[in-house]
Amino acid sequence: MGRSHVAWFALFALLAIVILLQVSRWYSAHIEERVRKRVQGEVPVYSARMVRHTIAVLLVLMFSKFFYLASLSSYYELYLMHRFGLSARTSAHYLAVFLFAITVGTLLGGPIGDHIGRRRVIWFSILGCAPFTLMLPYVGLRATVALTVVIGLVLASAFPAIIVYAQDMLTHRIGMVSGLFYGFSFGLGGLGAAVLGLLADHFGIDFVYQVCAFLPLLGIFAIFLPDVKPPAAAAKPA
């Protein structure tokens, strides 16, 4: 029975490889198109000061996002068992629901940003989930599950918008920007899990969620983001 399960995971891994190969081909063509437009002067070039200012703001927003997500992805099961007396199996099921919401939110963040603007998506997804995170430590089980689904959907939608927003500012450094933000996100996830674990050991798991509830308020820094338009939109005549 265990071997059959492993075989299914191998099939999913093979499917993922095929999909990523197609994505890499599209991405390579996309980079070449951006470089061509920049050479022809169709893509705006922003000042070094604006770029530094924007990247700094985006990193602050990523800190608030991934530290809060680390509190849920790492300690959500423990929180449910401690606060509501659930079994480890039931808590794992609720964690799976939350992780699925993150997946859906990540997939939706890109298309929504294309339609309404990435700055609005970043603003809404981080600061917009603050009311839900502030309520989470003080509600019952059903409300907790519902709130975590909403938080996962809304908060996860910011990441693709942040990545593409930074790429629109540094069209000649797309690989560097992608590596910087992806590496920063993984680093913050690991660091957040470690720091929050220490807090949980000293002050309790309830204290961790009460403190982390204020992290999305850092989304107010999105007000300092310039209104960067995608290269295709910027190239159109007014």
Nearest to 226 by CA among 105, 31, 51, 61: 51
**pLDDT value at position 237?**
45
Instruction: State which residues form the domain around 76.
Output: 47-230
**pLDDT value at position 43?**
52
Tell whether 153 is covered by a domain.
yes
**pLDDT value at position 7?**
58
**pLDDT value at position 1?**
45
**pLDDT value at position 181?**
85
Nearest to 167 by CA among 115, 231, 124: 231
Tell whether 209 is covered by a domain.
yes
Are residues 216 and 113 part of one domain? yes
Query: What whole-number distance in Å separates Cα of residue 48 and Cα of residue 53?
Result: 9
Within 10 angstroms of residue 10's Cβ, the number of other Cβ atoms is: 10
Nearest to 178 by CA among 42, 67, 34, 73: 34
Are residues 162 and 64 part of one domain? yes
Are residues 51 and 31 part of one domain? no
Are residues 78 and 33 part of one domain? no
> Average pLDDT per run of 10 along the chain, which is 238 residues long?
55 68 63 56 67 89 90 92 92 92 85 80 87 94 94 88 82 78 83 89 92 92 76 47
**pLDDT value at position 83?**
92
Nearest to 69 by CA among 138, 170, 159: 159
Are residues 158 and 138 part of one domain? yes
**pLDDT value at position 161?**
84
CATH of the domain at 93: 1.20.1250.20
**pLDDT value at position 85?**
92
Are residues 83 and 153 part of one domain? yes
CB 44 within 8 A of CB 234: yes
